[in-house]
Chain A
Amino acid sequence: MGIESFFANKQGFVATKLDNLINNVVNWGRQSSLWPYPFATACCGIEFMGVVSNTHDVARFGAELVRFSPRQADLLLVAGTITYKMAPVLKRIYDQMLDPKWVIAFGVCAASGGFYNNYSVVQGIDRIIPVDVYLPGCPPRPEAFFDALIALQEKIKGEKITRHDREQRPQLRPESDTSWKVPVVDPAQRAIRRGE
């Protein structure tokens, strides 16, 4: 919270100039070294393997350091269909990621449910978690993914680091099912974690 809270309380011309400078530098760092967490569930996950492999090489965009721990990642890539059974897992992983964090809905299934309009599939992950970039395609081509990545980088460029990240986050879809609770940890599993 160092830089962000320091500049949040400063006023005046010099502070504003400095603020802009710091803002640009920090955002440049953030946009050029995104650490993705590939939440790959289905076909799009296979195509994401094509994105990281040598032919297309996501390293050209500084996002090649794939992390499988949500605590080390700042870009959640939801690649694949999210079912109702998977929804609590996705929500939990998103909540475990530290701010600042961004989400790309990779493919139509993640963006809208795709052509799986049925009893089992969540009709868009924006009913559960906020989404920054929607990437259509079934699955999207690797080039399309790079387009989405550049769009996200542009978005990050315009963000204010002094504002709390939560306020800048995109909204959930309005017709979201509000009766749905935030998932809770199973008491039995909590007992295991504590070693009880």
Chain B
Amino acid sequence: MVATFDVKERLRQRFAADVLHADRAGGMESITVKKDRIVEILGFLRSEPDLAFDFLSDLGGADGMRLDWPQWRDRFQVVYHLRSMKHGRRLRIKASVPESDCRMPSVTGLWKSANWMEREVFDLFGVHFDGHPNLKRILCHHKFVGHALRKDYDIHQGQWLDETESMMDEIGEYGENPDDGGFSELVPVNIGPAHPATHGTLRLFAKLDGETVVRVSPEIGYLHRGFEKHSESGSWTMVIPYTDRLNYCSAMLNNVAWCHGVEKMLGIEVPERTQYIRVIVSELSRIIDHAVCVAAMLVDLGALTNFWYLFNLRERIYSILEELCGARLTSTYVRIGGLAYDLNEGFIDQVRAILRDIPKNVGDVIALIKKNRIFLDRTVGVGAVSKELALSYSWTGPCLRASGVAFDLRKSDPYLGYENFDFEIPTYEDGDVYSRAMIRFDEIVQSMRIIEQALDRLPSGPIFSEDKRVHLPDKDKVYGSIEGLMNHFVLVYDGIKVPKGEGYHPIEAANGELGFYTISDGSGRPYRVRCRPPCFTIYSGYSEIAAGSMIADAVPILSSFNIIAGELDR
């Protein structure tokens, strides 16, 4: 069955007139189609059993204004990254959208997660989606003029805002009775963005019936820092510090995701020692991220003691990472092709010491909450998410696994040699707040197992790839030979030159699938960087999941998602 698999041919048979171009770049089939029948095409790919591309991994846009590729016919492309959960394959579909007719059908009917992603494409590129239920800006503010990610929008052109959006269009008239002169017994309540329960940058606008949330609508974009635009203005290496600040609770994982994706585009294999070190720091970051998530969630439930316990753990890991790379939060440790530094002396002993102490730290917290009546009453059965709903919202990571889908990129699409480690994917069935909290503890245990194995087998050797395109030559070669000097000069002046093409190589970050869809025009600067943030899709399901719950439950539901604003808004 697998041998006959050819998406391209299947699509050509069915939609001959609509397929414009097909190629295979960076290990993924990539098909450009006309925009008008996109819903039929994606529906076909989704429903055919031998294709079964049922998971919308990512949806983004790209502006080809300064790109002279022959296959790039129109100015814009809307890019869909699909994944088949059944067959484990990935596919990229690109819809070509001309500037003169900047609209196309919406696929919100197929995947619920398309709702926010299409809004983002509309916001940043100005592509209109017909049939979208609520097409308005999402990251930039409501009075913003122009579309920020178009190539002709100046990066420095800021636009002041003098009042926040009322959001009455989404929530205002809901529940009003026209016969009664628009009277409603529902109470509108604005929560955030400066509210402790929304962790600083999220805004919710809810309508309450007593204490029940009847309808709630999140507003995001309060931390939109222009990551993607910035990435397009510097060299490939200069993106690394910006990735630190996406999910700032686990900066190492973002570094790894970015460098891994670029290395795949360059076709570079990093040395084995680098892979192992990356695995160790990734898993340490994952532990911190999960600890912070659960700690913040328990604070929201009023359990402050656990916060101190878990933050002790976090502080200790931070001091290890600080000794390794010089920074506590924003590490910038991983480089394209290698690492900034080798492990410091004593790193291994420090990590082993903390691995001995984590069970005590985490065990204390679990002992405090596991049989705690208040914790159980407030989490068990609250905000339950079914498997189907989670997949429709393109959930990944612990939240999806809490709903019973054992999908983990470390197992399903192994990278960095994760296939050589012995670990399990914990899953829960209920998909409620309790599962989402407990699964993080289970994953901490699994991460510890991985770190232990990696420390045991840590090979010696170089930490940087020998490839001349990424590796600065040693100083004696720079001063002693003309080749070394030229190599150094070119790398410093032009930066790393990634070959023309596009790539999407996601990894499993603490919140789920984190990938960067990158387009390179060969100039030494990324032409387009699109970040696929895991919590963006997770949060897009919030209004459906929280509707009907108590207002007090809406808060733990939100914190169990582990929304990190830097990653959400980029």
Contacts and interface: CB of A to CB of B under 8 A. Distances in A.
A167 interface: no
B196 interface: yes
Interface string B506-520: 000000000000000
A13 interface: no
Contacts of A122: 158
B311 A49 contact: yes
Given A47-B329, A84-B141, A120-B225, A42 B565 contact: yes
Contacts of A84: 141, 158-161
Contacts of A47: 328-329
Interface residues of A, number: 49
B329 A88 contact: no
B156 A119 contact: yes
B460 interface: no
B166 A85 contact: no
B393 to A, nearest CB: 24
Given A81-B225, A83-B223, A119-B148, A39 B160 contact: no
A136 interface: no
Given A41-B222, A89-B194, A192 B188 contact: yes
B329 A188 contact: no
Contacts of A185: 163
A68 B164 contact: no
B200 A89 contact: no
A120 B162 contact: no
Contacts of A88: 161-164
Chain B: number of interface residues, binned into ranges: 35 or more
> What is the interface of chain B mostly: helix, strand, loop, or mixed?
loop
Contacts of B292: 46, 49
Interface in A72-89: 80-81, 83-89
Contacts of B162: 88, 180-184
B230 A183 contact: no
B21 to A, nearest CB: 32
B271 interface: no
Contact of A138 (B155, B230, B330): B330
A86 B166 contact: no
B527 interface: no
A192 B208 CA distance: 13
Interface stretch (B60-68, B241-249, B462-470): B241-249
Contacts of A141: 328
A119 B156 CA distance: 5
B476 to A, nearest CB: 34
A186 B225 CA distance: 25
B168 interface: yes
Contacts of B194: 39, 89-90, 93
Contact of A83 (B163, B225, B230, B307): B225
Contact of B226 (A93, A116, A138, A183): A116
A85 B329 CA distance: 25
B23 interface: no
B201 to A, nearest CB: 5
Nearest to B244: A43
B312 A87 contact: no
A11 interface: no
Given A47-B328, A186-B163, A118 B225 contact: yes
Interface string A110-140: 0000011111111100000000000000110
Contacts of A42: 200-201, 223, 225, 245, 248, 565-566
Interface in A144-196: 177, 179-186, 188-189, 192
Top 9 A-B pairs ranked by shortest CB distance? A43-B248, A118-B226, A85-B141, A53-B311, A186-B166, A55-B315, A68-B196, A120-B226, A188-B166
Given A47-B329, A55-B312, A188-B172, 14 more contacts: A40-B200, A42-B248, A42-B566, A43-B244, A53-B308, A53-B311, A68-B196, A85-B140, A85-B224, A115-B242, A118-B226, A120-B224, A120-B225, A189-B166
Interface of B: 140-141, 148, 153-164, 166, 168, 172, 188, 190, 193-196, 199-201, 221-226, 229-230, 241-242, 244-245, 248-249, 292, 307-308, 311-312, 314-315, 318, 328-330, 565-566
12 contacts: A42-B245, A42-B566, A43-B245, A54-B308, A84-B159, A85-B164, A86-B222, A115-B242, A118-B225, A119-B148, A119-B153, A123-B158
